[in-house]
Amino acid sequence: MKNLPALFCLIIFILFINVNNGQTCSSSCGNIPIKYPFRLSKDPSNCGDRDYELSCLENNSTILYFRKGFYYVKKISYEEHIIRVVDVNFANGSCGLPNRDLTLDQLYNDPLYPGITKNYTYSYTLNYLRCSSEISDLGKSRVACLSGDVYVKLTSYYETLSFLEIPSSCKLISTVPGYYEDEMLEQKKPSYETILKMQESGFDMVWSVGCRECKSRRRRSRCSQRFPSTTEFECMQLYDDEYYEEIRQLIIGLSVVSVGGLIGFFRFILLPLVIFAFLLHKCCCSRDH
């Protein structure tokens, strides 16, 4: 009987560990191991992080839902914090359009996946253009399985959509990241066979739980990657909170003083001068008459 309190405490401790030890919860989907921060949608609530939730289909394919798009997970490197995904429409080398628009710029600015890999110079955005007439300059990249004239034009990792030169007879209809080991690929105007390989290979995403917490915890902060590492990030506060508050109060104070000064100037200096000028003018006019 004397050992009952100790036994009771031990049971409570074990239950506490099991409930709160979400970082050690693991499962798998097909040949993809699922460990923290990832979790499967059917996992217990204490598993992983809900912001990094994956789905496991009946055929054991792992799905990532990201920015309203669906992507098959090809592999996960927990050592490097890199997940390789491919658009569900391109997983089998299929011809067509992405299931959802996504650019490299959007990917690199996402709070959950803010990092870049060592081979980022091989990353591109595939831009799909629908044109009202044939574009000979893009002829090799024509999407053969789609009706009409649809072409693919690349922009490299450092270019946003503003860099994309769209012919006057074309409009942008979709985008997706791609990967190909050739830094000068966009200048070579690749064929659609090369585009198919890029689509099927997918693209890498670097995750950082710390960056998400950095941006949610601090109003004016930036999460900076310690490149070339894909696991080390630094939360940098752009302005100290107290310093920022002092600057804000100083601006408010100067504004109040400025407004007060203007009111005083008009009331005690400008207004008397106007009245004096009016009376002087009236007096002069009276003498003339």
Q: Is the pLDDT of residue 160 over 60?
A: yes
Q: What is the pLDDT of residues 198-251, one digit of tens each?
A: 999 999 999 999 998 887 765 678 889 999 999 999 988 766 555 566 577 778
Q: Is the pLDDT of residue 2 over 60?
A: no
Query: What is the helix (H) or strand (E) element at residue 204, kind and residue range?
Result: strand 203-206
* Token pair 């997970």: residue: 73
Q: Is the pLDDT of residue 18 over 90?
A: no
Pairwise CA distance, residues 25 & 37, whole Å: 9
Q: Report the pLDDT value the prediction gives residue 106, as an integer from 0 to 100.
A: 92
Pairwise CA distance, residues 198 & 87, whole Å: 11
Tell me what percent of the chain is helix, strand and coil, each rounded to the nearest 5. 40, 25, 35
Pairwise CA distance, residues 27 & 234, whole Å: 30
Residues 6 or more apart in contact with residue 96 via CB below 8 angstroms: 89, 90, 143, 145, 146
In 3-state terms, what secondary structure has residue 77? strand
> Region 7-31: what's the mean pLDDT?
58
The domain locations on the chain are: 89-207, 210-249
Least reliable range by pLDDT among 9-23, 58-72, 246-260: 9-23
Residue 13 pLDDT grade (very low, low, confident, very high; cuts 50, 70, 90): very low
CA 166 vs CA 65, 160, 162, 169, 176: distances in Å: 30, 13, 10, 8, 16
> Region 121-140: what's the mean pLDDT?
92
Q: Are 157 and 177 in contact (CB under 8 A)?
A: no
The amino acid at residue 42 is K
- End-to-end Cα separation, the chain, in angstroms: 121
Residue 20 pLDDT grade (very low, low, confident, very high; cuts 50, 70, 90): very low
Q: Report the pLDDT value the prediction gives residue 28, as an integer from 0 to 100.
A: 93
Q: What is the pLDDT of residues 59-88, one digit of tens each?
A: 999 999 999 999 999 999 999 999 999 999
CA 22 vs CA 36, 53, 90, 94, 273: distances in Å: 8, 13, 33, 38, 77
Query: What is the helix (H) or strand (E) element at residue 202, kind and residue range?
Result: none
CA angle, residues 69, 111, 105, in degrees to nearest 5: 65
Instruction: State both tokens at 13.
Output: 């401790």
Q: Are 39 and 53 in contact (CB under 8 A)?
A: yes
- Parallel/antiparallel/unpaired status of strands 39-40 and 53-56: parallel
Of all residues in the chain, the percent with pLDDT exceeding 90 is 52
Q: Report the pLDDT value the prediction gives residue 275, as an integer from 0 to 100.
A: 78
The amino acid at residue 189 is K
> Region 1-22: what's the mean pLDDT?
49
Q: Report the pLDDT value the prediction gives residue 36, as an integer from 0 to 100.
A: 93
Q: Are 90 and 99 in contact (CB under 8 A)?
A: no
Q: Report the pLDDT value the prediction gives residue 64, as an integer from 0 to 100.
A: 98
C-alpha 12, offset from chain centre:
41
CB atoms within 10 A of CB 212: 20
Q: Which residue has the higher pLDDT, 7 or 123?
A: 123
Q: Which residue has the higher pLDDT, 268 or 68?
A: 68
The amino acid at residue 160 is T
Q: Is the pLDDT of residue 132 over 80?
A: yes
